[in-house]
Amino acid sequence: MRRTSPPVPVTAPEPLVSLDRVRKSFPLPDGAPLVAVNDVSLSLAAGSAVALTGPSGSGKSTLLHLIGAIERSDAGTIDVAGQRVTGLSGRALAAYRRRIGFVFQRFHLLPTLTALDNVMAPLIPFRTDFDKAARARELLAMVGLADRTAALPSRLSGGQQQRVAIARALINRPVLLLADEPTGNLDSQNGTAIVDLRLSLRDEHGTTLVMATHDPGIAARCDRTVHLRDGRLTSLDSTDGEPGVRVG
Ligand SMILES: Nc1ncnc2c1ncn2[C@@H]1O[C@H](COP(=O)(O)OP(=O)(O)O)[C@@H](O)[C@H]1O
Ligand SMILES: [Mg+2]
């Protein structure tokens, strides 16, 4: 039989992110190690926006670092976009990290570079088939900073710095954007920058978003909330009723 066109998927796509019994502990100077992420199993559908909530110290940042392969789990498996992330090393690990975007809690902008150069920084070692500066400008415009491309981070507000960090995280067209809650005195209006962008991210880029946040208002604007306590998943909430999140 001759096939004239590729088969059209009719069922729900594979989850973009799957965690199976993931565990991470940190050694303490004395006594038993601290279990920061404890037996977490979870799947997240492609294109969804997921809020990761829980009290301070509940393991939100550690879980994001594990998914982003910034830290290595002690046990369990993590798969992202069909790739087994746990156990990656060397070139494969570097290649994986380039496929995802990470917005750090403290943004980690380079203080001597302009906003534009900060956004381009992840691409500097690589040859690209597009104009890096043009793409960086486009992203800065998308986050509302078209007129601040030449500014140094020190001349930007906390919210504007977060927007630069978001633009930088998007420069590699990631399938997955991981964002840690901003610390300190970002007002809630600034804190929603990523949530404001999420519809255009999903619609234009298909990006899946996982964001740690303290803010119930921000969590409510995501598709789902995943709640952590003492490193364990305690509850899942779905505001839109879509399937795709499993607790195990
Ligand atoms: N590098 C580390 N070394 C030792 N303990 C850590 C480290 N990172 C996180 N922890 C501990 O792991 C637990 C979870 O931390 P974290 O993931 O930062 O929580 P959250 O982001 O929810 O505030 C906390 O008890 C924290 O002190
Ligand atoms: Mg944290």
Report pLDDT digits (tens) over 181-238.
875 555 555 556 777 777 677 777 788 999 998 888 888 888 999 999 999 999 765 5
Tokens found for residue 125: 């070692």
- pLDDT at 215 (0 to 100): 81
The answer to whether residue 22 sits within a structural domain is yes
Q: How far is residue 46's CA from residue 206's CA, in Å, rounded to a whole number? A: 8
- Is 193 within 8 Å of 140 (Cβ atoms)? no
- What percent of the chain stands above pLDDT 90? 59
Ligand closest to 24 (CA) is 1
Q: How far is residue 108's CA from residue 118's CA, in Å, rounded to a whole number? A: 10
The answer to whether residue 2 sits within a structural domain is no
Q: What average pLDDT score do residues 125-140 get?
A: 89
CA of 201 to the centre of ligand 1 (A): 29
Q: Which of 168, 206, 198, 171 is nearest to 16 (CA)?
A: 206
The answer to whether residue 220 sits within a structural domain is yes
How many independent structural domains does the chain possess?
Answer: 1
- pLDDT at 123 (0 to 100): 87
User: Which atom of ligand 1 is found nearest the CA of 231?
Assistant: 14
> How does DSSP assign 69-86, residue by residue?
TSS--SEEEEEETTEE-T
- pLDDT at 88 (0 to 100): 95
- pLDDT at 32 (0 to 100): 86
Looking at ligand 1, which residue's alpha carbon is closest to its atom 1?
Answer: 26
pLDDT tops 80 at residue 99: yes
The answer to whether residue 195 sits within a structural domain is yes
Ligand closest to 59 (CA) is 1
* 15 Cβ inside 6 Å of ligand 1: no
User: Which atom of ligand 1 is found nearest the CA of 62?
Assistant: 17
- Tell me the C-alpha to C-alpha distance, in Å, between residue 185 and each of 21, 188, 216: 35, 9, 17
Provide the domain limits for residue 206: 15-238
pLDDT tops 90 at residue 1: no
The answer to whether residue 6 sits within a structural domain is no
pLDDT tops 60 at residue 242: no
pLDDT, one tens digit per residue, over 38-85 is: 999 999 999 999 999 999 999 999 999 999 999 999 999 999 999 999
CA of 224 to the centre of ligand 2 (A): 19
The answer to whether residue 45 sits within a structural domain is yes
The answer to whether residue 88 sits within a structural domain is yes
**What CATH number should be reported for the domain holding residue 173?**
3.40.50.300
The answer to whether residue 248 sits within a structural domain is no
